[in-house]
Structure 1
Amino acid sequence: MRVRNKPWADDFINEHSEYIISNPEDYLGKWSTRFNNDNPIHIEIGSGKGQFIVGMAKKNPNINYIGIEIQKNVIAMTLQKVVAEELENVQLINTDGKSVDNFFSLGEIQKIYLNFSDPWPKTRHIKRRLTSPEFLKTYYNILNDKSEIEFKTDNRGLFEYSLMSLNNFGMTFDHVNLNLHDSEELVDNVETEYEAKFKSKGPIYKILALVNK
């Protein structure tokens, strides 16, 4: 997902440092101090324009959410939503998802959301998929044995690859949904921007994987 340059993004981000974290490594093992509470912490890797994480934060005020997004112009749009809602349980990090174990410690995160990640369909790009073994190792390092990875996609190839990758990594499946928007789960589903736009084009697949340690 690429968006046009937002000339206002830098200034807006600088004006709201209470939500944007420029030094995530400094909070390794002590994210509770950033939120000023000991509530569970969930992270979304590739948070896009923020519709999902803002929706989840409003729905679950007793859970802390951290959105990780590599594109500055995109995370600035998430920041707009967070500021407008005055959400105290959301923080944002402008980086990629490769090194999450550099700024979260073992067991510090209770759930990871991977929503409509880039499928990287070419074989030579497999290592870039957010459910590849390389990424799963970093997730494993920050989750505990009661943690979950929730994955949604509309890409059949990425869905099948992710099932195999998660299973081979030793995770178990709480459930696998082949058509989220035609199931009872839809009642509690919080959509992303992408999901809202493309749900009519075909099935949305969902996996809820449990960490085994």
Structure 2
Amino acid sequence: MRLRNKPWAQEKIDQNSQYIISTPENYKGRWNEAFEKVQPLHIEVGTGKGRFITEMAKANPEINYIGIEVYKSVIIVALDRLIEAKLPNLKLLNVNAVDLHKYFAKNDVSRVYLNFSDPWPKTRHEKRRLTYKDFLKLYEDIMVDRGEIHFKTDNQGLFEYSLMSFSEYGLLLKYLSLDLHKSGFEGNIMTEYEEKFSERGNRIYRCEVQYQK
């Protein structure tokens, strides 16, 4: 994905630290202090332009949410959504997913959302896939016991790989759809990519898996 450089993005991020937390390491193990209410915390890894996480926060005020996005030029779009919505149960982090252990402690997170992650189709790039075993261990290390991963993609190859990865790691499959938009699943909130891909006629795959301890 080619991203247009926005040199003013960092300044905008710095000016909105109440929405994009600039020192997330200070909240490790005590994320409830970043929100108005003590509530379960769900995170989206690769939040993109923020449509999904913003709508989830609107629909579920009893849950606290954090959208994580590494690209500054992308997260500022999510920032604009959050500024407009003024949601007390949503924050953003401009950090890399490989560093989650620096910002979250065991039991901080109840659920991880992975939506339309980069498939990294080449075998030599397997370790970069967000459903690779090392990432599954990383999520487990910051989640409560029996925490969940909710995963959506339009990429059949990545979905098949992820199901195998989840199974080999010992995760329990709780929900599976090979064609989400024809499944009758209620309450689905689409991402920007999901809307674009589904309009092209692409099938959307979705699953929910749970850690066993």
Fold conserved (TM > 0.5)? Answer: yes
Tell me how far 1:14 sits from its aligned partner.
1.9
Q: Identify the range of structure 1 (122-131 vs 17-26) with the bigger mean alpha-carbon deviation.
A: 17-26
Cα separation, 1, equivalents of 2:112 and 2:12: 27
Tell me how far 1:16 sits from its aligned partner.
1.1
Tell me how far 1:21 sits from its aligned partner.
1.3
Cα separation, 2, equivalents of 1:104 and 1:212: 20
Cα separation, 2, equivalents of 1:154 and 1:183: 15
Tell me how far 1:184 sits from its aligned partner.
1.2
The residue type equivalent to 2:192 in the other structure is E
SS for the counterpart of 1:102 is helix
Cα separation, 2, equivalents of 1:5 and 1:146: 40
Q: How does 1:149-188 map to 2 (within 5 A)?
A: 149-185=149-185, 187-188=186-187
Cα separation, 1, equivalents of 2:183 and 2:58: 23
SS for the counterpart of 1:184 is coil
The residue type equivalent to 2:38 in the other structure is D
Q: How does 1:42-81 map to 2 (within 5 A)?
A: 42-81=42-81
Residue pair 1:143, 1:211 contacting (<8 A) in 2 also? no
For 1:124, the equivalent position in structure 2 comes to 124
Q: What is the root-mean-square deviation in Å for CA atoms of aligned residues?
A: 1.1
Residue pair 2:131, 2:162 contacting (<8 A) in 1 also? yes
Aligned length: 212
Q: How does 1:1-213 map to 2 (within 5 A)?
A: 1-185=1-185, 187-200=186-199, 201-213=201-213
Residues 91-126 of structure 1: CA distance to partner in whole angstroms, max 9, x if unpaired? 111111112122111111000000000000000000
Residue pair 1:21, 1:92 contacting (<8 A) in 2 also? yes
**Unaligned runs of at least 5 residues, structure 2:** none
Residues 150-195 of structure 1: CA distance to partner in whole angstroms, max 9, x if unpaired? 000000000000000011101001011100010111x310000000
Q: TM-score, normalised on structure 2? A: 0.96
Cα separation, 1, equivalents of 2:110 and 2:191: 21
Runs of 4+ in 1 over 3 A off after TM superposition: none
Q: TM-score, normalised on structure 1? A: 0.96
Cα separation, 1, equivalents of 2:5 and 2:197: 24
Residue pair 2:41, 2:66 contacting (<8 A) in 1 also? yes
The residue type equivalent to 1:170 in the other structure is G
**Unaligned runs of at least 5 residues, structure 1:** none
SS for the counterpart of 2:148 is strand
SS for the counterpart of 2:87 is coil
Cα separation, 2, equivalents of 1:204 and 1:39: 30
Residue pair 1:57, 1:89 contacting (<8 A) in 2 also? yes
Cα separation, 1, equivalents of 2:7 and 2:72: 11
Cα separation, 2, equivalents of 1:145 and 1:14: 35
Cα separation, 2, equivalents of 1:105 and 1:75: 23
SS for the counterpart of 1:20 is coil
Counting aligned pairs with the same residue, the percent is: 50
Cα separation, 2, equivalents of 1:45 and 1:61: 20
Cα separation, 2, equivalents of 1:4 and 1:84: 23
Tell me how far 1:7 sits from its aligned partner.
4.3
